[in-house]
């Protein structure tokens, strides 16, 4: 990768020009509440200090787009059961290993206690581990939105083609559009005057897979503009400008700022592979959002041999989140991380109680890591 | 050197470490004699005592110890052996001290190839020789197969701080300039590029180097340096947070002033890592009064290990001890401690 193509999207001069444009367009008489759905955006916003460049009446609301944050405790319990009680080699992405499960147990703690938990950088690494350990069962604990779903589909197709006997996938893939609908269908979004979100900065990598079309029905139905944006800070600034323009005009359309990667139909080859391997679950629990219909993917019966939920006897554990934890409200954009009583006191990145503090893409972790000084300088809104 | 203890020399091409090499008998004595002493060769070691005894000049003594556990053992720009020498010399040097001697503890895993061990020992010896800091005593243990990771090395270093030098982590003061001797992230990225599950093609070499010569040149130019530390694990971010905590100050750095090699930036982009948190092994960060900063910078740039030295920020009053960074993008952000290990992001 050439850094030349990175610096272009982080140019301070362009940022200030965009900031001037945003300031001149933003109506000082109103507030613009813009939700960045995706954790990648939250990360970019804080890492580059984007809020410093925005007027105070533009509020960025952090959404539920961090796959680690929305994974319910019951699914972490499955991972722990697989790694401990069933003695498998459990492979997963790094972000997941510190997520607290039941009794504040985590995969990292289970590993320290002797479970064979391995962090992989790609789904194919998990299959390789299965090949190298023919006498062990290897489970890939798959999480992520539409972005990481195609690689899981690929690994399942490969496993079947190779006739691998000791490999399976615990599927926790979730989908973006139903989550946005879930947010807008909630009671607090229906009450007049209490709508917490005026528009969405749409996800980048997710849209590269599914395209921008799936966001069109709800932009129209719920009258919320969506601008698909890349993860570079200039992308985010440009998307904010485009959203303000739409809101000022009274429009609610899906626009695509990330045209260099995303088109309306997305990656149709990836979609075909996903359709071959996965089917929609009737309902799936999201941490903070509760059960959402048609919001997650399960493995099709044709691939049942590679479905860890079929292969292993896993207990369904109902575990409530910590009573004082406001992750749910934060994921819905109703509260800010600093509104939570536990923020930076009982709950820190080193000792997370809630899921939003675990992943670097979680809103609370981003606030903790990058935003605390700003909170000190700016009075809470 | 004494007469050989065994009639048949070690098979350094095809042989492997076995449990007898740590058992205290003939095999262990042979390993020490034919490998360690042969390479580390110096008069103190040749006396075959369980310790080294030497005269100390005037000044305050410094002692430090460090364990080296790294995968892979050999990486672009270095290996665990040279790293174990450089790392400990640097820890001594960060007090402004002149390193005198090193001690080394080797924990070897049964089955480890003697050829690899020889390469590591030769690398240690070379690093110690070019640094002018001999390895004068040591210890060898062998653990059963599966109970080690090939080789673990612990090195201990002693040195002497010259009179008039007072460098400590709690001495950074508001107004101080913050200087670094070159680009960050080279070591960590070079090591990652050779990890089994992650290998990628790159020309990045570890920056592993002994910094005591540079430190001596810096002290000659600016004897009043307040604080100094090398950004190893946790990278520049961890170092700045440590100094901010110990000195009860804030630090404001300027992203645009921090040297980062293009290849390191590219690799970090690809892996979703922040170079501020990536390890270095040949870098130091110094805090000095603003009035001395330019003089110090010039002295650093005149040294081969400081050619890309830069003033990267300043110390500010801040009761909360925040480290902040003005981003190249035009905003500011906190540069926080890392929580756990830096892990790749999911998407």
Q: Give percent of chain B above pLDDT 70.
A: 95
Residue A344 at interface with chain B, using a CB cutoff of 8 Å: no
Contact B128, B120 (CB under 8 A): no
Calculate what percentage of chain A has a pLDDT beyond 90.
60
Q: Confidence class of residue A376 from pLDDT cuts 50, 70 and 90?
A: low
B269 at A interface, C-beta within 8 A: yes
Q: Which residues pair with A32 in a beta bridge?
A: A58
Measure CA of the first residue to CA of the last residue in chain A; give whole Å: 40
Q: Per-residue pLDDT tens for B165-218? A: 999 999 999 999 999 999 999 999 999 888 766 677 778 999 999 999 999 999
Higher pLDDT: A350 or A279? It is: A279
Q: In 10 A of CB B30, how many CB atoms?
A: 18
Complex ipTM value: 0.78
* B-chain residues near A371 (CB < 8 A): 333-334
Q: What is the pLDDT of residue A96?
A: 87
Identify whether the C-beta of residue A100 lies closer than 8 Å to the C-beta of residue A147: no
Is a pLDDT exceeding 70 seen at residue A1?
A: no
In chain A, the residue whose alpha carbon lies closest to the alpha carbon of B261 is A3
Q: Which residue of chain B comes nearest to A108, CA vs CA?
A: B340
Residue B3: what pLDDT? 64
Instruction: Please check whether residue B1 touches A, CB under 8 A.
Output: no
Given A40, A348, A373, which is nearest B322 (Cβ)? A373
> Helices then strands (H, E): number in chain A?
17, 11
Look at A119 and B343 and tell me if their CB atoms are within 8 Å.
Answer: yes
Question: Residue B125 and residue B271: Cα distance in Å, rounded?
Answer: 35
Reply yes or no on whether the pLDDT at A381 is more than 50. no
Q: State which H helix or E strand residue A35 sits in.
A: strand A32-38
Q: Distance, in angstroms, between B264 CA and closest chain A CA?
A: 10
Of A201-215, A327-341, B272-286, the one with minimum mean pLDDT is: A327-341
How many angstroms away from the CA of B267 is the closest CA of chain A? Answer: 8
What is the pLDDT at residue A335? 86
Distance separating alpha carbons of residues A213 and A217, to the nearest angstrom = 8
pLDDT at A288 over 80: no
Contacts of A11 in chain B (CB under 8 A): 329
Average pLDDT in chain A: 89
Q: Is A93 at the interface with chain B, CB within 8 A?
A: yes
How crowded is residue B51: how many other Cβ atoms within 10 Å of its Cβ?
9
Q: pTM for the full model?
A: 0.86
Whether residue A10 and residue B331 make contact (CB cut-off 8 A), yes or no, is no
Mean pLDDT within B310-322: 95
CA distance A194 to chain B (A): 31
**In this complex, do A349 and B339 lie within 8 Å of one another by their Cβ atoms?**
yes
Q: Which residues of A touch B334 (CB under 8 A)?
A: 369-373
A40 in contact with chain B, both atoms CB, cutoff 8 A:
yes
B203 touches chain A (CB under 8 A): no
Chain B residue numbers with beta carbons less than 8 Å from the beta carbon of A46 are 333
Of B12, B341, B295, B61, residue with least CA distance to A349: B341
- The helix/strand/coil state of B161 is strand
User: What is d(CA A318, CA A109) in angstroms, rounded to the nearest whole number?
Assistant: 21
> Which residue's entry shows tokens 């040195």?
B159
Q: CA A343, A349, A354, A358 torsion: positive or negative?
A: positive
Listing DSSP states for A127-176 in one string gives: HHHHHH-TTS-EEEEEEESTTTHHHHHHHHHHHHHHT-SSEEEEEEEB-H
The C-alpha atoms of residue B66 and residue B245 are separated, in whole angstroms, by 22
Of B265, B266, B331, the CB nearest to A52: B331
Is residue B228 within 8 A of residue B167, CB to CB? The reply is: yes
d(CA B159, CA B347): 47
Task: Please give the mean pLDDT across all residues of chain B.
Answer: 93
Touching check for B270 and chain A: CB below 8 Å? Answer: yes
For A105-135, what is each residue's pLDDT tens digit? 899 999 999 999 999 988 999 999 999 999 9
Separation in Å, CA of A147 to nearest CA in chain B: 7
- Whole-number pLDDT of residue A354: 82
- Touching check for B324 and chain A: CB below 8 Å? yes
Q: What is residue B208's predicted lDDT score, i.e. its pLDDT?
A: 97
Does residue B322 sit at the A interface (CB-CB below 8 Å)? yes
Which residues, 6+ apart, have CB-to-CB distance to A259 below 8 Å?
A: none
Sorting pLDDT into bands at 50, 70 and 90, what band is A373?
low
A10 reaches B (C-beta below 8 A): yes
Measure the CA–CA gap between B323 and B315, rounded to whole angstroms: 9
Q: What are A324's two structure tokens?
A: 């004082």
pLDDT tens for B219-273 read 999 999 999 999 999 999 999 999 999 999 999 999 999 999 999 998 898 888 8
3-state secondary structure of B187: helix
- What would the pLDDT profile of A198-246 be if each residue is shown by its tens digit? 999 999 999 999 999 999 988 999 999 999 999 999 999 999 999 999 9
Whether residue B329 lies within 8 A of chain A, CB to CB, comes out as: yes
Residues of chain B with Cβ-Cβ distance to A174 below 8 Å are none
Of B115, B116, B148, B155, which Cα lies nearest the Cα of B134? B155
**Chain A nearest CA to B262, separation (Å):** 7
Q: Report CB contact under 8 Å: B346, A349.
A: no
Nearest CA in chain B to A352: B339
CB atoms within 10 A of CB A171: 26
- What are the tens digits of pLDDT across the range B32-82? 999 999 999 999 999 989 999 999 888 899 999 999 999 999 999 999 999
DSSP H or E run through B178? strand B177-180
Dist CA B82 CA A353 (whole Å): 42
Closest by CA position to A196, among listed A24, A8, A62: A62
Determine the pLDDT at residue A380.
Answer: 35
C-beta atoms surrounding B146 within 10 Å: 9
pLDDT band at A336; cut points 50, 70, 90:
confident
**Nearest-angstrom CA–CA distance, B67 and B88:** 9
Distance, CA of B14 to CA of A162 (rounded, Å): 37
Contact call for B328 and A10, based on CB within 8 A: yes
Residue A264: CB atoms within 10 A of its CB come to 12
Amino acid A210: pLDDT: 96
Chain A: residue nearest B339 by CA? A350
Chain A residues close to B345, C-beta within 8 Å: 40, 43, 95, 359-361
B326 has which bridge partners?
B254, B332
Q: Give the span between the Cα atoms of A125 and B54, in whole angstroms.
A: 53
CA distance A166 to A178: 33
Asked if the C-beta of B266 comes within 8 angstroms of chain A's C-beta atoms, the answer is yes
Q: What is the per-residue pLDDT for A379?
A: 34
Q: How close B72 gets to chain A, by Cα (Å)?
A: 17
Residues of A in contact with B332 (CB under 8 A): 49, 52, 373-374
DSSP per position, A301-361: GGGGGGBHHHHS-------PPPTT--HHHHHTTSS-GGGSTTBTTTBBTTB-SSGGGTSTT
pLDDT of A247: 97
Min Cα distance B211 → chain A (Å) is 30
Size of the A and B interface in Cβ pairs below 8 Å: 110
| Cβ distance of A371 and B334 shorter than 8 Å | yes
Check CB contact under 8 Å for B330 and A52.
yes
């Amino acid at each position: 990768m050439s850094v030349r193509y990175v610096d272009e999207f982080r140019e301070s001069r362009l940022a200030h020009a965009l900031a001037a444009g945003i300031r001149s367009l933003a109506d000082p008489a109103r507030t613009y509440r813009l939700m960045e759905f995706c954790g990648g955006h939250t990360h970019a916003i804080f890492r580059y200090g984007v809020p410093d460049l925005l007027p105070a009446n533009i509020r960025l609301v952090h959404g539920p787009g961090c796959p680690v944050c929305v994974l319910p405790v019951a699914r972490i319990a499955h991972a722990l059961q697989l790694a401990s009680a069933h003695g498998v080699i459990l492979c997963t992405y790094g972000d997941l290993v510190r997520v607290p499960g039941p009794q504040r147990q985590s995969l990292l703690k289970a590993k320290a206690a002797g479970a064979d938990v391995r962090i992989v950088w790609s789904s194919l690494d998990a299959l390789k581990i299965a090949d190298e350990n023919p006498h062990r069962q290897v489970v890939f604990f798959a999480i992520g939105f539409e972005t990481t779903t195609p690689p899981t589909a690929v690994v399942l197709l490969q496993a079947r083609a190779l006739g691998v006997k000791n490999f399976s996938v615990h599927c926790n893939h979730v989908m973006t559009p139903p989550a946005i609908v879930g947010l807008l269908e909630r009671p607090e979004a229906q009450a007049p005057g209490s709508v917490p979100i005026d528009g969405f900065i749409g996800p980048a990598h997710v849209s590269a897979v599914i395209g921008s079309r799936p966001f069109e029905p709800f932009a129209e139905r719920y009258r919320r503009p969506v601008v698909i944006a890349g993860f570079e800070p200039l992308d985010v600034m440009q998307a904010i400008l485009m959203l303000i323009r739409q809101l000022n005009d009274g429009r609610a359309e899906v626009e695509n700022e990330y045209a260099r990667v995303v088109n309306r139909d997305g990656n149709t080859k990836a979609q075909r592979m996903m359709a071959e391997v996965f089917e929609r679950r009737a309902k799936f629990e999201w941490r903070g959002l509760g059960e959402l219909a048609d919001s997650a993917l399960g493995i099709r019966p044709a691939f049942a041999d590679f479905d860890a939920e079929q292969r292993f006897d896993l207990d369904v554990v109902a575990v409530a989140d910590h009573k004082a934890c406001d992750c749910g409200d934060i994921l819905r954009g109703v509260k800010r991380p600093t509104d939570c009583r536990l923020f930076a006191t009982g709950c820190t990145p080193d000792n997370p109680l809630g899921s939003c503090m675990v992943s670097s893409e979680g809103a609370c972790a981003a606030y903790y890591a990058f935003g605390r000084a700003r909170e000190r300088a700016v009075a809470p809104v | 050197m004494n007469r050989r203890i065994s009639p048949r020399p070690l098979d350094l091409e095809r042989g492997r470490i076995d449990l007898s090499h740590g058992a205290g008998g003939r095999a262990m004595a042979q390993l020490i004699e034919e490998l360690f002493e042969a390479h580390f060769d110096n008069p103190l070691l040749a006396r075959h005592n369980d310790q080294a005894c030497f005269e100390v000049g005037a000044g305050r003594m410094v002692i430090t110890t460090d364990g080296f556990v790294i995968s892979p053992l050999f990486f672009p720009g270095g290996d665990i052996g040279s790293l174990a020498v450089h790392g400990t010399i640097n820890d001594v040097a960060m007090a402004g001290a002149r390193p005198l001697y090193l001690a080394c503890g080797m924990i070897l895993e049964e089955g480890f190839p003697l050829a690899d061990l020889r390469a590591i020992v030769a690398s240690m010896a070379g690093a110690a020789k070019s640094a002018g800091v001999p390895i004068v005593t040591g210890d060898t243990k062998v653990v059963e197969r599966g109970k080690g990771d090939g080789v673990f090395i612990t090195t201990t270093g002693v040195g002497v701080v010259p009179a008039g030098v007072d460098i400590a982590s709690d001495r950074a003061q508001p107004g101080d300039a913050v200087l670094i001797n070159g680009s960050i992230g080279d070591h960590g990225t070079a090591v990652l590029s050779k990890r089994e599950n992650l290998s990628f093609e790159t020309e990045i070499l570890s920056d592993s180097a002994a910094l005591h010569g540079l430190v001596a040149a810096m002290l000659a130019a600016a004897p009043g340096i307040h604080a100094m530390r090398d950004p190893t694990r946790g990278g520049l971010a961890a170092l700045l947070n440590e100094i901010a905590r110990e000195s009860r100050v804030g630090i404001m750095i300027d992203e645009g002033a921090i040297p980062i090699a293009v290849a390191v930036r590219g690799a970090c982009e690809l892996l979703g890592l922040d170079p501020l948190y990536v390890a270095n092994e040949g870098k130091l960060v110094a805090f000095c009064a603003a009035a001395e900063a330019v003089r110090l910078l010039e002295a650093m740039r005149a040294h081969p290990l400081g050619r890309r030295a830069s003033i990267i920020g300043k110390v500010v009053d801040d009761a909360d001890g925040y480290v902040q960074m003005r981003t190249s993008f035009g905003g500011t952000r906190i540069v926080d401690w890392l929580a756990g290990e830096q892990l790749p992001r999911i998407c």
